[in-house]
Homo-oligomer: A and B are copies of this chain.
Amino acid sequence: MMELTRKGEYAVRGIVYLATQPEDKVCLLSDIAAAVDVPATFLAKIFQQFSKIGLVKSYRGTGGGFVLGRAADRITLLEVVEAVEGPIIPNRCVVAPGECPRDVFCNVHPVWKRVQVQVRDVLEKVTLRDLAGL
């Protein structure tokens, strides 16, 4: 339960690798993929998602590639994980009040909410700089 998918695992590996590189170095997807041992085609999809929300910046064409979208210490693990896995929702109930018909009489509700808060809290406090180990 609560397991990160491959996609999430790959996403973290890939962007952490980027964070270990010199700030202005434009990295090829193929190089990143090789370095972190992830299928390049799959990592491409992941980085596209990153790119859309500005976690990385991409450059096309010759000399193209990827750099971090912000300084490594301003990107949290929470952002990275949620970018590819979607929001952290231990239970559908948690989404929004009223979402779940059992809402009113469901005591389990607030427990999952606490889980959500705790998990987010842990992940939010970790930045790519921490993970890059520099």
Q: What residues of chain A have their CB less than 8 Å away from a CB belonging to chain B?
A: 1-5, 8-9, 12-13, 16, 77, 81-82, 85-92, 102, 105, 107-108, 111-112, 114-115, 118-119, 121-123, 126, 130-133
Contacts and interface: CB of A to CB of B under 8 A. Distances in A.
Q: How many copies does the complex hold?
A: 2
B12 A92 contact: no
Contacts of A8: 1
B122 A115 contact: yes
B108 A12 contact: yes
B130 A89 contact: no
10 contacts: A1-B5, A1-B88, A2-B89, A3-B90, A3-B91, A9-B92, A108-B131, A111-B122, A115-B122, A118-B122
